[in-house]
Structure 1
Amino acid sequence: MNYKVHINMLTYTDSDFLKPVFSTLVIKVSSIVKCFQSIENFVTTYNYGGQTNGVLLIAAEMCMPAFRLEAFAADVLIPFGMKLNDDFAFIDERQIEGVRNTNSYNVNIEHPDCDNTNWLKGMIIEKGNYIWYSDPDLTEFEKETNFRLFKNLCYNEPEKFNLNPRVIKLDDTYVHYTVSGLDMYYKLHRDALWYNEKVYGDCKFN
């Protein structure tokens, strides 16, 4: 069968952060390479398209549930050994605006559709929905640190958010991070991210 999804060409982005829209199928590129040799072979063989940052491949369908994408997963991904939530996941875009242009109560939270995986994290903020690859070896505290840093930068310093920030160290006072393309280091006070919550703990960033 010749499958075609919402986008029939592959586009590349340098951003760690991808934006799910409508119903989005997210596939780990490492799983694609394992099962189909390369992402290019996968895309060509199945006339599949979407957006990739080299780590994740996403494709969207303008309906919920995503009938065509779900059929593609059942007919192609699963027979090749891929498993739901281990190798791919479905993420639904959550609307930001409520009735009469009010903000939804589901704002400034982690994306709940990512909870079933250990390799995907996301956030729902006033600027939209974002997802990113999350190292499964990180502790829950480390993942929360990333979430809070990314959210803060997206709101307050979008130019740094767009340069793929990386947490490199936590000390008793600051979260230290760097961004791609710049030989500079930055820091944010922990209280700016946790608002004086008593959740500081040990992690591998130290």
Structure 2
Amino acid sequence: MITYIDLDIQKIVFSTLVIKVSTVVEKFGSIEKFSTQHNFTGVTNGTIVMTAEMSSPPFQLEEFAQKVLIANGLELQKDFLFIEEMLTQGARGEVSELINEPHPECNEVKWLESVIVSSGNYIWFSEPSLSDFERDANFRLFKNLLYCDADKIQLNPRITHINETYVHYTVSDSKMNYKIHRDALWYNELKYGKK
């Protein structure tokens, strides 16, 4: 059974298998049909479907990928990938060097963005057609909200436009607009330009 969760940003736990929903629909007809035919349980937000296994490596998920996904023409990284949850703090309290960075297993994947913050590992679907600047703006806004205004993350923030001073965004596709100063997200305008 697949559970629908109306959150763009999903938290990674343990060893997670993430699949593009558009590929599932293309290859299997629907998420429900895929779930029923292949006894797949997990969660979806309408753009990604995922499930987790409490072991590393995730032997059962890897076997499922071989027998079902790859056998039906899905490709690793293009259509699905495995993500291991990265610990944010060590046994002695040391903080991970990966805090505030994208998850390393998502670096080569154009359809998935990620960030590791002190509260965990998070991913979201990213349109491959977005520019590097737009992808970076989403990454920085979501990271900022995860730290400073986590309630807004629950409302699916979307950037509406960026001007020379502010990043403007809305939540839950409402008419309510918010803005955050670009300096709060970028400290080096020379690297990213003014537009």
In structure 1, the partner of 2:38 is: 46
Of 95-104 and 54-63, the range deviating more from structure 2: 95-104
Gaps of at least 5 residues in structure 1 are 1-8
Q: With structure 2 as the length reference, what TM-score do the two structures score?
A: 0.95
Q: 2:174 aligns with which of 171, 175, 182?
A: 182
- Which residue is 1:171 aligned to? 163
User: Is contact 2:16–2:52 with CA below 8 Å preserved after alignment?
Assistant: yes
Given that 1:166 and 1:178 are in contact with CA atoms closer than 8 Å, whether structure 2 keeps it comes out as yes
Asked if 2 retains the 8 angstrom alpha-carbon contact of 1:141 and 1:201, the reply is no
2:94 pairs with one of 96, 102, 106: 102
188-197 vs 28-37, greater mean Cα deviation:
188-197
Report 1:1-206 matches (<5 A): 9-180=1-172, 182-201=174-193
Task: Check the 8 A contact 1:24/1:61 in 2, yes or no.
Answer: yes
| Counterpart secondary structure, 2:146 | helix
The separation in 2 between residues aligned to 1:181 and 1:140, in whole angstroms, is 23
Q: After superposition, what is the alpha-carbon deviation per residue over 1:115-141, rounded to whole angstroms, capped at 9, x for unaligned?
A: 121100100000100000011011111
Q: Measure how far apart 1:197 and its partner are.
A: 4.3
User: Number of matched residues?
Assistant: 195
Give distance in 2, aligned partners of 1:134 and 1:187.
21
Q: Which range is displaced more, 96-105 or 24-33?
A: 96-105
- The TM-score normalised by the length of structure 1 is 0.90
Quote the offset at 1:12 in angstroms.
Answer: 1.2
For the residue of structure 1 that corresponds to 2:97, the secondary structure is coil
Can you give the 5+ residue segments of structure 2 that lack an aligned partner in the other structure? none
Q: Cα deviation per residue 1:86-135 (whole Å; 9 max; x = unaligned)?
A: 11111110001113223212111111111121100100000100000011
The alpha carbon displacement at 1:202 in A equals 7.0
Aligned 8 A contact 2:159 2:168 in 1? yes
Q: Distance in 2 between matches of 1:181 and 1:101?
A: 40
Give the CA deviation at 1:175. Answer: 0.7
Q: How far apart in 2 are the matches of 1:167 and 1:182?
A: 12
Task: Find the aligned partners of 2:173 and 2:128 in 1 and give their Cα distance.
Answer: 25
Contact 2:164–2:194 (8 Å) recurs in 1: no
Identity of aligned residues (%): 53
Give the Cα separation in 2 of the matches to 1:201 and 1:68: 46
- Aligned-pair distance for 1:162? 1.2
CA distance in 1: counterparts of 2:158 and 2:96, whole angstroms: 29
